[in-house]
Amino acid sequence: MFRRRVHFLHIAGISVGADVSSVLVLLLVVWSLGNRPGWLPDLPSAMRWGTALMGALLLFLSIVIHELGHAFAARAVGTEVERVTLFLFGGVAELRSEPLRPWRDAITTGAGPAATGLLVLILWLVTRASVAVTGDIGAAAFTLLQYLLTINTLLALFNLAPAFPLDGGRLLRAVLWQSKGDYRWATVVAARVGTILAAGLILFGILVVLRFGQTLAAPELGIRLSGLWYALIGTFLLRSSLQIAQAYRASPSLGSPESSNAPS
């Protein structure tokens, strides 16, 4: 699936790696955090940017934890797991075989947001405990924890949107698949819902870009870039959902699960 993938390490036999496109995301996140008005304004510049880099790397680690949730659950229900890969739009758990039952698909899919939910709970507890730590290190740690808490909460909620091929969309498909016993029909319906939501996300992104299109100051530029980002993710989801719907509508023989990749 990824031709320019770099392998980092094995976790319980699962290869964890990144596509080179994720470097762009890393740079964007570091830039937007470092320019954020509330991001440790009283600290020396080197420490602010160092903390921004750490925030971006910990965001990547959060995505890996989400994908490993999918991967370990897949393995637990008898699906072969190949690897976990970070790429331009987040992460993906690449599975080698298919979850051939709705409940297997639902468990594999639900485990990603569940892993992120557990991470949010742990981060919340650590954030509360870290209030007592003072000084520059305390301020940096607290800012990082708050950022990770917010971004992981948003990640869990975003992934649960029923926009196939996001996790919420896959869960919707599993429910439809279970109710009618028709995998092909469930995939087409979930993909249609995904297309509508993806179009809404693109429109929202364009509105954000237009709304903040008047100024070049860093915070507003950051908001405009985030709008562009929503539109890009929306375009990726729109393309995926349209391709999947078309493949399943066009080919009557395609009655079994297609790719069981579970995007973040």
Tell me the angle at which helices 102-130 and 167-180 cross, rounded to the nearest 10 degrees: 150
Residues near Zn ion (CB under 5 A) are 112, 159, 167, 264
Of 40 and 107, which has the nearer Cβ to Zn ion? 107
Nearest approach, Cβ of residue 136 and Zn ion (Å): 36
Select 51 or 264, whichever has its Cβ closest to Zn ion: 264
| Smallest separation (angstroms) from Zn ion to the CB of 18 | 16
Distances (CA, A) of 176 to 172, 173, 179, 195, 221: 6, 5, 5, 17, 42
Distances (CA, A) of 261 to 29, 42, 79, 231, 264: 25, 44, 11, 23, 10
- Which of residues 140 and 198 has its CB atom nearest to Zn ion in the complex? 198
Closest distance between Zn ion and the C-beta of residue 49, in Å? 30
Catalytic residue among 67, 80, 94, 220: 67
**Distance between CA atoms of 149 and 145, rounded to whole angstroms?**
6
Give yes or no: 67 in active site. yes
Q: Scanning the structure block, which residue is given the tokens 């305390």?
A: 138
* Residue 192, φ and ψ in degrees, nearest 5: -65, -45
> Could you tell me which of 23, 115, 132, 7 has the C-alpha nearest to residue 70?
115
- Cβ 63 to Zn ion, closest distance in Å? 9
In contact, 141 and 132? CB cutoff 8 Å: no
Locate the DSSP E strands across 89-163. Answer: 90-95
Q: Which residue is nearest to Zn ion (CB)?
A: 112
Q: Which is nearer to Zn ion, 159 or 260 (CB)?
A: 159
Calpha distance 131→119 (Å, rounded): 19
Beta strands in the chain (DSSP E): 5-11, 14-19, 81-87, 90-95, 262-263
- Write down the least CB distance from residue 142 to Zn ion, Å: 28
Contact assessment for residue 95 and residue 262, using Cβ atoms and an 8 Å cutoff:
yes
47: which DSSP letter? H
Shortest distance, position 262 Cβ to Zn ion, whole Å: 6
**Catalytic residues, which ones?**
67
